[in-house]
Amino acid sequence: MRSIWNGSISFGLVTIPVKTYSATERTSSVSFMRIHEKDGAPIQYRKMCELDGKEVPNEEVGKGYQPPGDDIVVPVTDDELSRLPVPTGKALTILSFVDPSEIDPLQMDKAYYLGPNGASAAKPYALLREALEHHQKVALGKVAMRGRESLAMLRAHDGAIVMHQLLWPDQVRPAPDVVPEDVKLRENEMALAETLMDSLGELDPAELHDDYREAVEELAAAKLEGEEPVAPAPSASDAQVIDLTAALEKSVRAARSGRGESAESASVTPIRGRTATKKAAEKKPAAGKSTGGAPAKKSAAKGGAKKSTARTAQKSTEGTAEKPARKTTAKSTAKKATAKKTAAGKPRAKKSG
């Protein structure tokens, strides 16, 4: 890896010589050339002078500064720029140590690895790295690279010190024009949004890759082999869901299913249902006046009435069956009594001598 800038970190009275290396790689991203469609030849960009219309060679290209609001361009030479009093020209001066949350991510620009420049720089380099990591702070300072001064943030990362170039505060645009007006959010919408955030789970950086770049490479390979490029199947997507709550619930189900959970665990109980149940529980009347008891009593009364009717019918049947028996017994008793009386009233017959 080739260093792109050599300087030093000024840490109080400690000076740490460092080399700077690019921490990011942009060559893996997709880039296209402009070509002439008739013959496929690349199109070159020529530096043309707007005054005489002639092409300007690279050795005659210089620098010019145009003051804000002025049409005049002032020529500036490299020799004049080198004599400007830039105190951070070869040193990164640490101004303070702050909490990482105090740095607005909007200010983040390019990232560089800083490595010790020489054996004598190894110990102070390691000391600064360990102090940043143990104290959980980042260093904030200023540095001049490639002809311009910028803010810089130092942090410990993976055993190294990383420098992030930062934009100046006045380079960050405010966002009043993109902020929506007051929007009222319901409680169940917020709860579903948080559930969706939890359902997505953790992200493995190793699984991230550029799908577009891979598709472009497959397209180019197919054309080089003389094959007809196959258009990828469009991703299945349902119609646009207008209901925010329904969209959140569907997203939660999809996120849980994507993590390999079963259909039951992927189901979502609508919060509005739970809210309705809660409200219904709060509206229950006091004891003794429960609306839920009335149907039970009514059913019990119906059951009692049925039992009473059955008992009455049974008694009626038993009474009807006993009446003839009682009448027969009474008649039999009356006959026996009459027979006795008749027998008693008759004169006894005399015995013959």
Say what the pTM is.
Answer: 0.57
- Name the band, by pLDDT with cuts 50, 70 and 90, for residue 52: very high
Which of residues 272 and 115 earns the better pLDDT score? Answer: 115
89-93, 124-128, 330-334: range with lowest mean pLDDT? 330-334
| CA gap 115, 129 in Å, rounded | 11
The 10s digit of each residue's pLDDT in 195-213 is: 888 887 777 888 888 888 8
Residue 295 pLDDT: 45
pLDDT at 63: 92
Lowest-confidence range among 80-89, 120-129, 308-317? 308-317
Instruction: pLDDT band for 83, please (50, 70, 90 cuts).
Output: confident
- DSSP annotation string for 108-162: EEEEEEEEESSGGGHHHHHHHHHHHHHHT-EEEEEEEETTEEEEEEEEEETTEEE
pLDDT of residue 88: 58
More confident of the two residues 45 and 125: 125
Give the confidence band of 262 by pLDDT, cuts at 50, 70, 90: low
Q: How far apart are CA 226 and CA 193, in angstroms?
A: 49
How big is the CA angle at 200 (ends 185 and 162), to the nearest 5 degrees?
Answer: 105
Condensed to tens digits (0 to 9), the pLDDT of residues 213-225 reads 888 888 888 888 8
| Side-chain half-sphere CA neighbours of 238 within 13 A | 8
Identify the band that residue 316 occupies on the pLDDT scale cut at 50, 70 and 90: very low
Look over the chain and give the mean of its residue pLDDT values, rounded to a whole number.
75
In this predicted structure, the answer to whether residue 261 has a pLDDT above a threshold of 50 is yes
Contacts (Cβ under 8 Å, ≥6 apart) of 107: 151, 166, 167, 169, 171, 172
